[in-house]
């Protein structure tokens, strides 16, 4: 790939800005199939469909006929010391081919060890050794999938005392040295900044925005001493402000609203992500520019 930086508003992979999307959840299957809501795109949790038949498989096929789809995984375990699961990668690629997924993403974390999945997104130490380890594994994954992947910044609650790199520096170097994309979860930046005491604005400003292909927005739970990334509420104002900054710096990326606990009606979820349009406008007004969000055609 060329090392030339792409124009503002485009990512280095040439992946499209899909507009505003919603995470596909089972509680909304009936509504989506019956109403065909005007949604720009859907994000699916990869593992929910890799081995599924019956109704989930039928619903997915119906949705893929009408909407653009991207895949978001929770079990790649890119930071684990276990060997990469080749059977998992085979199924991941097959699902991407079947759905014609515009891109595939997962998290900068580990999820298990000794071939046991703990079903949690666990933090990794940010050291030169783990950096080399993750870069090598990302390259292998992209070779198997024959497409770039996007790694998401995690929400974290503990840090390793032995870390010698900041999370944003680690993420930047992985993206650049493994030549992969980034999924910038704006809520996770805010949650982790509160929990660990770093500056969320400096974090966002340091991200290589030409490698960001997607944003996540979500609500969280304020426990007073710390924040939990529960995806169970509306997006809070400070997260919207960070989103405005990221939009201004990147020129706009596909934006997805996650709501995974205490899930309300589809209309409420869809209305929440639609709020992003106003914040895009705020970002552009602050930048002294007027633009329209370009949604890639199907």
Q: What pLDDT does 294 receive?
A: 38
**Tell me, what DSSP letter sits at residue 293?**
P
Dist CA 218 CA 235 (whole Å):
5
| 269 alpha carbon, distance to own chain's centre | 17
- Tell me which long-range contacts 48-57 makes (C-beta under 8 A, separation of at least 24): 49/95, 49/99, 50/88, 50/91, 50/92, 50/94, 50/95, 51/91, 55/29, 56/26
**Distance separating alpha carbons of residues 211 and 193, to the nearest angstrom:** 21
End-to-end CA distance of the chain: 25
Of the candidates 217, 246, 277, 256, which has an alpha carbon nearest to the alpha carbon of residue 44? 256
**pLDDT tens-digit series, residues 216-227:** 999 999 999 999
Does residue 140 register a pLDDT over 50?
A: yes
Yes or no: domain 20-286 corresponds to CATH 3.40.630.10: no
Domain boundaries in the chain? 20-286
Residues 42-61 have a mean pLDDT of 94
Give the contacts of 270 (CB within 8 A, at least 6 positions apart).
22, 37, 39, 257
Q: How high is the pLDDT of residue 178? A: 98
pLDDT digits (tens, 9 = 90+) for 72-99: 999 999 999 999 999 999 999 999 999 9
Give the pLDDT of residue 282.
Answer: 79
Asked whether residue 236 carries a pLDDT value surpassing 50, the answer given is yes
Q: What is the pLDDT of residue 94?
A: 97
Q: Read off the pTM.
A: 0.92
DSSP H/E element including 182: strand 181-185
Report pLDDT digits (tens) over 109-134: 999 887 888 788 999 999 999 999 99
CB 276 within 8 A of CB 255: yes
Provide the 3-class DSSP secondary structure of residue 119. Answer: strand
């Amino acid at each position: 790939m060329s090392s030339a930086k792409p124009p503002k508003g485009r990512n280095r992979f040439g992946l499209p800005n899909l507009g505003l999307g919603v995470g596909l959840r089972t509680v909304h299957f009936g509504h989506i199939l019956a109403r065909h809501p005007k949604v720009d795109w859907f994000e699916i949790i990869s593992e929910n469909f890799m081995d599924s038949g019956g109704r989930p498989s039928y619903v997915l096929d119906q949705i893929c006929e009408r909407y653009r789809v991207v895949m978001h995984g929770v079990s790649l375990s890119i930071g684990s010391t276990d060997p990469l699961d080749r059977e998992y990668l085979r199924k991941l690629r097959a699902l991407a081919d079947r759905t014609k997924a515009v891109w595939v993403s997962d998290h900068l974390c580990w999820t298990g060890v000794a071939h046991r999945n703990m079903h949690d997104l666990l933090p990794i130490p940010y050291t030169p050794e783990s950096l080399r380890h993750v870069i090598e594994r990302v390259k292998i994954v992209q070779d198997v999938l024959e497409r770039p992947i996007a790694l998401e910044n995690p929400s974290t609650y503990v840090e390793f005392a032995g870390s010698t790199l900041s999370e944003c520096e680690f993420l930047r170097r992985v993206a650049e040295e493994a030549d992969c994309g980034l999924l910038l979860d704006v809520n996770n930046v805010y949650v982790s900044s509160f929990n660990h005491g770093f500056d969320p604005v400096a974090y966002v400003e340091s991200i290589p925005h030409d490698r960001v292909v997607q944003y996540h927005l979500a609500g969280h739970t304020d426990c007073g001493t710390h924040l939990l990334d529960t995806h169970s509420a509306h997006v809070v104002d400070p997260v919207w402000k960070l989103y405005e900054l990221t939009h201004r710096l990147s020129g706009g990326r596909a934006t997805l609203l996650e709501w995974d606990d205490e899930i309300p009606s589809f209309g409420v979820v869809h209305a929440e992500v639609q709020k992003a349009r106003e914040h895009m406008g705020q970002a552009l007004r602050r930048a002294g520019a007027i633009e329209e969000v370009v949604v890639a055609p199907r």
